[in-house]
Amino acid sequence: MLGVACASGCASPASGPGELPAGANAIVTKVLDGDTIDVEIAGREERVRLIGIDTPEIAHPAFDGRAANDVECYGEEAQRYTGELLALGSGVRLERDIVARDDYGRLLAYVYRATDGALVNYEIVRHGFATPLTIAPNTHFTDLFVDAARRADRDDVGLWAACRET
């Protein structure tokens, strides 16, 4: 069963200054890469890893216990696209699956834009900026993400077109 990632500690949706927009339980504060964002939830910062997808890495120093790495094919494009989907300061609704955090302490979530309810994880895969990454037991949208990736591959979209080995 899916639940809100911050079930009891979230601010109520509201429309006043400094409050969350209707339908949101978090505000986007940073896009780290194509599948990792920072949000503010009830006055505290949280790092969020989008469940079920994997975008190519961008070049970055070590963070969250991870080693430094170089840019992978389509990594910068994936980061840019996620930033287009999730403007800084925009409201999002986070939903978790079974496991709430990864080994790095990041919240694991399905991310929905508050403005239109779009499932951001799906949009990133559908437009060819990510591949599916299923880690049980967080499998709620596995079939949806796999189908979206197959269509993106078939249509030669995004990383499927740019990163094929010849």
Catalytic residues: 49, 57, 106
The answer to whether the beta carbons of residues 25 and 4 sit under 8 Å apart is yes
The answer to whether the beta carbons of residues 78 and 34 sit under 8 Å apart is yes
Residue 97 in 3-state DSSP?
coil
Q: How far is CA 61 from CA 17, 39, 72, 78, 92, in A?
A: 36, 21, 14, 18, 27
From CA 43, how far away is CA 106, in angstroms rounded? Answer: 17
- Which residue shows structure tokens 């287009």? 84
